[in-house]
Amino acid sequence: MSLSANDKATVKALWAKISPKAEDVGNEALSRMLYVYPQTKTYFSHWSDLTPGSAPVRKHGKKVIGGIGLAVEKIDDLFAGLLTLSELHAFQLRVDPANFRILSHNILVVLAMLFPDDFTPEAHLAMDKFLARVALALSDKYR
Amino acid sequence: MVQWKAEERAAIQAVFAKLDYESVGRETLTRLLVVYPWTRRYFGGFGNLFNSEAIMANPKVAAHGIVVLRGLEMALKNMDDIKNTYASLSELHSEKLQVDPGNFQLLGDCLTVVIATRMRTEFTPDIQAAWQKFLAVVVSALRKQYN
């Protein structure tokens, strides 16, 4: 399910719209992932506070959404563009890739909440495809 | 048996209380057919499903959206025994409609997205948690009769 030129244009346009609130999106998505899918908390046992909107969650949400922003920039070659991040996730973090889908779902829910008029069915399609592709690129170095 | 806390029941009731079945049903099914186009295989008799405008305007999609939400309402009204409440629905989907049960998750995800556009920040993490649990129970019940 590769990204068409239209998908890429749609993702970039949507990203431009949401960029001013990127940090909020990151915080909300990560907060919901940890709260609604508590099994994901197992990766963050070293944090002092895993509750929605806490300082460590907000800080990490910013990092994660920054990674997605990077992926938008590298949308024409995600595998090359996300190589370092893939190595990080494969060898150091060793996050089970099933969790990428959970985070992606929460990103979509938050986009729908905060940008209901922009998150049209077409934008939803493009974003879902894009995030799936990002997950694939992130898991590329796993084995 | 699934245990529901009082807050979870209240949360699910809160979501349903605000649901405009016609609008939410139509948009949910539209998103399913647009975002996951292989699902169109189950709606051969619905006519024009070629693009999102056609799907959104399709009266059969609108009608079916309401059918789906009425089905979910049955689960809401029988939260302590969704499994048995859905026994015949599960058989319908497996024997007659022959729907790949993976699609139930996809429909649930689309519905969650639409609810998020309607409720916006009122769709709190607490409400989302209860809602996702409800959907998981519904999907599991729908899968029960598949063999």
Each residue of B23-45: pLDDT tens digit? 999 999 999 999 999 999 999 99
Chain B interface, mutation test: which of A124, A130, A131, most B Cβ atoms within 10 Å?
Answer: A124
Question: Cβ–Cβ of B125/A31 closer than 8 Å?
Answer: yes
Q: Is the pLDDT of residue B81 over 90?
A: yes
Residue A1 pLDDT: 83
- Interface residue A130 vs chain B (CB under 8 A): no
User: Using CB atoms, which residue from A36, A124, A128 is nearest to B128?
Assistant: A36
User: Using CB atoms, which residue from B31, B34, B121 is nearest to A113?
Assistant: B121
Taking each helix axis from N to C end, the angle separating B125-143 and B102-119, rounded to the nearest 10 degrees, works out to: 150
Q: Which residue has the tokens 């990428």?
A: A100
User: Using CB atoms, which residue from B30, B34, B128 is nearest to A32?
Assistant: B128
Q: What is the mean pLDDT of each run of 10 residues along chain A (143 residues)?
A: 95 97 98 96 93 97 97 97 96 92 98 98 98 97 93
Nearest to B41 by CA among B99, B118, B115, B114: B99
* Average pLDDT along chain B: 95
Chain B interface, mutation test: which of A109, A110, A127, most B Cβ atoms within 10 Å?
Answer: A109
Residue B72 pLDDT: 97
CA B85 vs CA B80, B111, B118, B145: distances in Å: 9, 21, 28, 12
- Interface residue B57 vs chain A (CB under 8 A): no
Residue B32 pLDDT: 97
Each residue of B5-23: pLDDT tens digit? 999 999 999 999 989 999 9
Average pLDDT over residues B125-130: 98
Average pLDDT over residues B142-146: 92
Nearest to A43 by CA among A110, A107, A103, A96: A96
The percent of residues above 90 in pLDDT, for chain B, comes to 95
Question: Cβ–Cβ of B112/A109 closer than 8 Å?
Answer: yes
Residue B147 pLDDT: 84
**Prediction pTM value:** 0.92
Each residue of B60-75: pLDDT tens digit? 999 999 999 999 999 9
